[in-house]
Chains A and B, each alone.
Chain A
Amino acid sequence: MVDSIAPDLIEVKNLEKRFALDEGFLETVKFRGGKILREKREVHAVNNVSLNIVRGEALCVVGESGCGKSTLARLVVGLLKPSAGQVLYGGTRIDNLSAKDMLPYRRKMQMIFQNPYASLNARMSIEQALMEPVKVHNPRLSRAEIFDKVAEVMQAVGVDPSWAKRYPHEFSGGQRQRIAIARALTMDPEFVIADEPISALDVSIQAQVLNLMLEAKDQRGLTYLFITHDLSVVQHFGTRVAVFYLGSLCELADTKTLFDTPKHPYTQALLSAVPKLSDEAPSHIRLKGEIPTPINLPPGCPFESRCVHANARCLAEHPAPLQKPDGAIVACHAVEEGRID
């Protein structure tokens, strides 16, 4: 079944995720304009997103809070079931598999979480936390064999194996994130999803963890889906970048192309807003208004309310992602019509 020649490790097709805001019958009953209505409000977290992740690359997904990037990560890894669309792993559809059929993919796909203070079980020693997954997936291994595996991985992430008996609270945030990475690596995954893995860490520690992830990529041939809001990290880490806004894909391009020639107005604004060391004063593209809520989205372009280039078509019609000559995929009417370049 698995086609090992396929260059795309992951393929996401027309993925959608909606969360119901009103659960239970009573919450859906609303009183409006003298009438009693039954209405279900939904949050459109991910909206008709298609993208692919090539074997060996690091695809970065950027966007602001609530843009659906974390939901996308959870959909790909199977923590959430999509409302519509498909997730394919090496050509096989995995979003509709049963827990049992999913097991082989569980080993190949691992996830690193944002908060190293919450992603490790406080009641388990490091040794227990790292040995458990190996034991569960290889019931025939002896304890010594399992420990060898764990010690090897701990060494690889720079955590002294002699600390294995300690509990998470005895470690700093950076060390915990190393341990969380080690836990993912115990499974020998080929694909790692990292959801804001460094945003809870201090600046000098961020560099350490990023370096560790780059090393793991080179040595183990990992493929990454890297979720972040920090564009300077993206520029350094990603081979390609996907920019999200309100659950929709705005722009997807090679890192260099995106940073050199951002095309979508939102990408342009986002890039200009990053404070740089060379700046002597804020110098960013000002957006009007605020980010709208993703509840019952309007039919048009999600960025329309804040975009200086918006016109009537942007209000009425959702822009389709289109490929530009330099390979960038952009979803914007103004770019398509040549109103902006």
Chain B
Amino acid sequence: MSLLSVRDLVVKFAMRHQTLTALDHISFELAQGERLGIVGESGAGKSITGFAILNLLSQPGFIAGGKIMFDGKDMAALSSEEIRLIRGDRIAMIFQDPMVTLNPVLTIGEQMVETLQAHRNISRSDAEKIAIVKLREVYIPAPEERLSQYPHELSGGMRQRIIIAIALLLDPQLIIADEPTTALDVTIQADIMELLLELCQNNKVSLILITHDLGVVSQMTERTLVMYAGKIIESGKTREIVNDPQHPYTQGLINALPQQTVAGHRLKQIPGNMPGLGSLPPGCAFHPRCDFATDICKKSVPEFVSFADVKVACHEVARLHKTKKAEAKDG
């Protein structure tokens, strides 16, 4: 049985003039110990997915339909107290900016002990012992001394390690990491990612990694969802998606990377912008930017169907696949 099962999740935002659909029938499964990447541009709905799973949506957003089953329990049917107990304990979340996630007026130790005591009936000294063990797990030098330090005394990379240590405090079954290294430098990012991967593998923790960076997804995850304008448009094994993407948007994203083009030549850009949620075109939301769009793409929303080794939402996927194969043969 899967650890997390999201079925037809719909999230809406009640704005002043209209109600916007931020997530449109999102469905996916996550097994225990599995690592899933959610890729998309800003506004595609990838962060909202993470927030919705934890029931952390703030006004004006709300869950308008669908089911989120975590370990056999329906998250929507739980009381806010029951959800609070799951949050932080069974599911932990790591946010984007390590500079603002930690409370600046509390020491590292106080924040870690507070987290433990909120979920476990445990003495302060025992809590501190657990905290030190976890800090050591994330390779923080001299963990005993860190407990009495304040966040501002530590570097960004160090803080993100501490945030990961806090996330691990209660041995969660699932970690949701929302762009955990975007605010960090490349060399630090690589360290943190390696650490996160190692921890997930060693402790059989499931991971949802929300990011815009396909390279990171490729390194870290087993399965990937690609999101566009509030919908999942492609899902499958990460290898398959990276090596042989089927949806024209995924192809466009990968081809637009500078590493895919000979230096100095024009990059293969996707024209236009992702539409705002208030101005989605009819039919496939990607069709105005798509080179392969036909009349049907302008009229009807494509089904999310299995194709080759992945699932993809595109009317023209079969034709596209054929041309791509032919090109590969020629080239």
Q: Which 10 A-B pairs have the closest CB atoms?
A: A275-B215, A236-B258, A64-B185, A207-B256, A273-B190, A207-B269, A202-B41, A207-B267, A282-B194, A284-B190
Across the interface, A282 reaches (CB within 8 A) one of B219, B254, B263, namely B219
List B contacts of A278 (CB < 8 A): 218
A144-181 interface mask toward B, CB cutoff 8 Å, 1 = contact, 0 = none? Answer: 00000000000000000000000000001011000000
Interface residues of B (CB under 8 A from A): 41-42, 155, 157-158, 185-191, 193-194, 197, 212-216, 218-220, 239, 242, 252-254, 256-259, 261, 263-264, 266-271, 273-274
| Chain A residues, CB < 8 A from B194 | 282, 284
A334 within 8 Å of B by Cβ?
Answer: no
**Cα distance, A195 to B239, chains bound together (Å):** 34
Contact among B257, B270, B273 with A232 in the assembled complex (CB-CB below 8 Å): B257
Q: Chain B residues near A80 (CB, 8 Å)?
A: none
B257: chain A residues at CB < 8 Å are 203, 207, 232, 277
**A207-B256, A229-B185 known; A281-B197 Cβ under 8 A:** yes
Determine if A235 is an interface residue (Cβ-Cβ < 8 Å). Answer: yes
Give a binary string over A258-279; 1 marks a CB under 8 Å from any B CB, 0 the rest: 0000000000011011111111
Residues in B with CB closer than 8 Å to A233 are 258
Known: A279-B219, A284-B194. A237 touches B258 (CB 8 A): yes
**Distance A57 CA – B187 CA, assembled complex (angstroms):** 28
B268 in contact with A207 (CB, 8 Å):
yes
- Asked if B191 and A211 sit within 8 Å, CB to CB, the answer is no
User: Are A231 and B186 within 8 A (Cβ)?
Assistant: yes
Q: Judging by beta carbons under 8 Å apart, are A232 and B41 in contact?
A: no
* Size bracket of the A interface: 35 or more
Known interface pairs A233-B258, A236-B264; A290-B189 also in contact (CB < 8 Å): no
B219 and A275 contacting across the interface, CB-CB below 8 Å: yes
Are B193 and A275 closer than 8 Å at their CB atoms? yes
Query: For B253, what are the chain A residues with a Cβ–Cβ distance below 8 Å?
Result: 203-204
Q: Which of A175, A278, A282 has the most CB of B within 10 A?
A: A282
| Bound Cα distance from A277 to B239, whole angstroms | 9
10 extra interface residue pairs, beta carbon distance < 8 Å, beyond A202-B274, A207-B270, A282-B194: A64-B185, A203-B41, A211-B269, A233-B258, A235-B258, A235-B259, A275-B215, A279-B218, A282-B197, A291-B155
A210 to B258 alpha-carbon distance, docked (Å)? 9
**23 A–B contacts, CB within 8 A, in A order:** A204-B41, A206-B256, A208-B269, A210-B267, A211-B269, A233-B258, A235-B258, A236-B263, A236-B267, A256-B263, A272-B190, A273-B186, A274-B215, A275-B219, A277-B218, A279-B219, A281-B219, A282-B190, A284-B187, A284-B190, A284-B194, A290-B155, A291-B155
Q: Check A204 against B261 for contact (C-beta < 8 Å).
A: no
Residue of B nearest to A289 (CB): B141
CB-based nearest B residue for A266: B187
Which of B213, B216, B218 has the most C-beta atoms of chain A within 10 angstroms of its own C-beta? B218
Contacts of A211 in B (CB 8 A): 266-267, 269
- Contacts A175-B273, A207-B269, A210-B258; A280 near B219 (Cβ below 8 A): yes
Contact status A232-B259, CB under 8 Å: yes
Contacts of B274 in A (CB 8 A): 202, 204
Interface of A is mostly: helix
Q: Closest residue of chain A to B262, judged by CB?
A: A236
B254 contacts A275, C-beta separation under 8 Å: no
Q: How far is the CB of B111 from chain A (nearest CB, A)?
A: 20
Measured CB to CB, the closest approach of chain B to A178, in angstroms, equals: 11
Give the shortest distance, in Å, between A7 (CB) and chain B (any CB).
20
Asked if A203 and B256 make an inter-chain contact with CB atoms under 8 angstroms apart, the answer reads: yes
Which A residues lie within 8 Å of B218 (CB)? 275-280
**Within the complex, which residue of B189, B190, B191, B270 is in contact with A204, where a contact is CB–CB below 8 Å?**
B270
List of A residues within 8 angstroms of B214 by Cβ: 203, 277
- In this complex, which of B189, B197, B264 has the most chain A Cβ atoms within 10 angstroms of its Cβ? B264
Give the residues in chain B near A286, CB-CB below 8 Å: 191
Answer whether A269 and B273 are a contact pair too, CB < 8 Å, given A202-B42, A290-B155.
no
Least CB distance, A271 to chain B, in whole angstroms: 9
Residues in A with CB closer than 8 Å to B188 are: 64, 290-291
Contact A208-B187, Cβ < 8 Å, known A275-B219, A276-B218, A290-B155: no
Determine whether the beta carbon of B256 is less than 8 Å from that of A290: no
Most buried by A among B158, B215, B267: B267
Complex Cα distance, B157 from A287, in Å, reads 12
What chain B residues lie within 8 Å of A284 (beta carbons)?
187, 190-191, 194
Taking a contact as CB atoms under 8 Å apart, the answer to whether A270 and B187 are in contact is: yes
Given contacts A232-B257, A273-B190, A281-B197, contact A204 B269 (CB under 8 A): yes
Contact with B187, one of A210, A255, A287 (Cβ below 8 angstroms): A287
**Closest B residue, CB atoms, query A63:** B185
Contact of A290 among B158, B252, B259 (CB under 8 A): B158
Q: A205-B273, A290-B158 are in contact. Are A64 and B186 (CB under 8 A)?
A: yes
- CB of A311 closer than 8 Å to a CB of B: no
A65 at the interface (CB under 8 A from B): yes
Contact B213 A275 (CB under 8 A): yes
Digit string of A41-82 for contact with B (CB within 8 Å is 1, else 0)?
000000000000000000000001100000000000000000
Give every chain B residue within 8 A of A231 (Cβ-Cβ): 186
- Residues on the A chain within 8 Å of B215, using CB: 274-277, 279
Q: Which residues of B contact A322 (CB under 8 A)?
A: none
